[in-house]
């Protein structure tokens, strides 16, 4: 088997408040995404988002359907975003090849039957981070490079949150059903992401931290703004943020992360902000 998957259910915020460290990690943390020549998927029932990783080293890896989808092929009723965080890679969709370099994205619309991932050089393998959500219509498959991104400069050195947000799969850039994805890069010396924090009960979100030195960590905050908890995270791990949860983090160094959202709308700016002094 080249595809390993896990299924996760939807925690209720009242139950979440009683979880201990281990239970919090079991429900929300996705500890391993990249495994040589394998696809790893976590099917979350939170907006049915699948969070995963494909790391082709010596082989070409085909995207396979998994049992919970009860589908003939993975994208029969879904759309997919893939962002490469490794060496130069190739994504092939129904016979058409796309060169996807580090920090470049691919949007693959519903109905694509054969999706394959490979690396240019097995010594510097590609690592494709995946987010997939149910789709009600077919949107065209296309590559989204760094130059296509909508760029936002946020934060400041004084508040240790200076960062650049690159919106890759957003409605201004590419047509999607419900998926949105992008990448946020912190400036050296800046460590806080998504501060001031926010919630958006219209959409769930997943964060995947990378470019974090192996001996460093990100302390990720979650929960309703008046009842937060934390999850310590390592490089190349993801965390699921249900619609009732905020999502913010502080690192022991700077880092980059990929965010992906799905749900009610495609309005990135639709957020309910919470100021730092209002958090509990």
Task: Check binding of 259 to ligand D54 (CB under 6 A).
Answer: yes
Q: Is there a binding annotation on residue 12?
A: no
Min separation Cβ 265 and ligand D54, Å? 12
Tell me how far CA of residue 218 lies from CA of 190, 202, 209, 227, 251, in angstroms: 12, 26, 8, 19, 4
Whose CA is closest to 86, among 46, 127, 115? 127
> Under rule CB under 6 A, how many of the chain's residues touch ligand D54?
11
Whose CA is closest to 107, among 73, 75, 80? 80
Min separation Cβ 274 and ligand D54, Å? 12
Min separation Cβ 222 and Zn ion, Å? 11
Measure the CA–CA gap between 15 and 169, rounded to whole angstroms: 33
- Range list of β-strands (E), 50-88: 50-55, 61-62, 78-84
**Please, which residue, 226 or 269, has the CB nearer to ligand D54?**
269
- Please list every residue from 166 through 185 that binds ligand D54, using CB under 6 A: 182, 184
Q: Is there a binding annotation on residue 136?
A: no
Task: Check binding of 221 to ligand D54 (CB under 6 A).
Answer: no
Q: Is there a binding annotation on residue 198?
A: yes
Residue 250's binding partner among Zn ion, ligand D54, none (Cβ under 5 to 8 angstroms by kind) is none
Min separation Cβ 99 and ligand D54, Å? 26
Measure the CA–CA gap between 31 and 237, rounded to whole angstroms: 5
Whose CA is closest to 208, among 126, 68, 112, 103? 103
Task: Check binding of 247 to ligand D54 (CB under 6 A).
Answer: yes
- Please list every residue from 204 through 243 that binds Zn ion, using CB under 5 A: 205
Do the Cβ atoms of 171 and 245 come closer than 8 Å?
no
Neighbouring CB atoms inside 10 A of 87's CB total 16
DSSP string, 67-112: GGG--SSGGGSEEEEEEE-SS-EEEEETTEEEEE-TT-EEEE-TT-
Sign for the pseudo-dihedral over CA of 261, 111, 2, 71:
positive
**Please, which residue, 115 or 165, has the CB nearer to ligand D54?**
165
Residue 116's binding partner among ligand D54, Zn ion, none (Cβ under 5 to 8 angstroms by kind) is none
Task: Check binding of 163 to ligand D54 (CB under 6 A).
Answer: yes
Min separation Cβ 8 and ligand D54, Å? 20
Q: Is there a binding annotation on residue 247?
A: yes
Q: Cα 114 to chain center, whole Å?
A: 22
Query: From the CA atom positions of the chain, what is the Rg in Å?
Result: 18
Min separation Cβ 107 and ligand D54, Å? 17
Could you give the count of Cα atoms lying within 13 Å of 10 in the half-sphere of its Cβ?
11
* Residue from 66, 205, 209, 266 in contact with ligand D54 (CB under 6 A): 205
**Please, which residue, 78 or 163, has the CB nearer to ligand D54?**
163
Binding residues (CB under 5 A) for Zn ion: these are 205
Binding residues (CB under 6 A) for ligand D54: these are 154, 163, 165, 182, 184, 193-194, 205, 247, 259, 271
Q: Which residues fall in the annotated binding site?
A: 198, 200, 205, 247
Q: Which residues fall in the annotated binding site for Zn(2+)?
A: 198, 200, 205, 247
């Amino acid at each position: 088997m080249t595809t390993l998957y896990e299924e996760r259910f939807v925690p209720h915020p009242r139950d979440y408040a009683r979880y201990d460290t281990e239970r919090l990690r079991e429900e929300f943390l996705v500890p391993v995404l990249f495994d040589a020549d394998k696809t790893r998927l976590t099917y979350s029932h939170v907006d049915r988002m699948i969070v995963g990783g494909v790391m082709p080293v010596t082989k070409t890896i085909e995207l396979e359907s998994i049992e919970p989808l009860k589908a003939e092929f993975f994208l029969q009723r879904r759309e997919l975003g893939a962002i490469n965080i490794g060496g130069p890679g190739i994504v092939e969709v129904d016979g058409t090849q796309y060169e996807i370099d580090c920090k470049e994205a691919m949007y693959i619309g519903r109905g694509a039957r054969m999706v394959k991932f490979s690396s240019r050089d097995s010594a510097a393998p590609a690592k494709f981070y995946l987010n997939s959500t149910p789709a009600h219509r077919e949107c065209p498959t296309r590559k989204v490079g760094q130059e296509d991104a909508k760029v936002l400069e946020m934060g400041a050195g004084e508040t240790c949150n200076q960062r650049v947000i690159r919106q890759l799969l957003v409605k201004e850039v590419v047509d999607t059903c419900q998926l949105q994805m992008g990448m946020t890069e912190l400036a050296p010396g800046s460590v806080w992401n998504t501060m001031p924090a926010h919630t958006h009960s219209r959409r769930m979100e997943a964060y995947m931290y990378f470019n974090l030195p192996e001996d460093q960590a990100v302390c990720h905050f979650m929960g309703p703004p008046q009842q937060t908890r934390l999850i310590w995270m390592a490089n190349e791990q993801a965390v699921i943020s249900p619609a009732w949860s905020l999502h913010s983090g502080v690192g022991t160094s700077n880092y980059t992360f990929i965010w992906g959202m799905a749900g009610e709308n495609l309005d990135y700016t639709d957020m309910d902000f919470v100021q730092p002094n209002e958090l509990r």
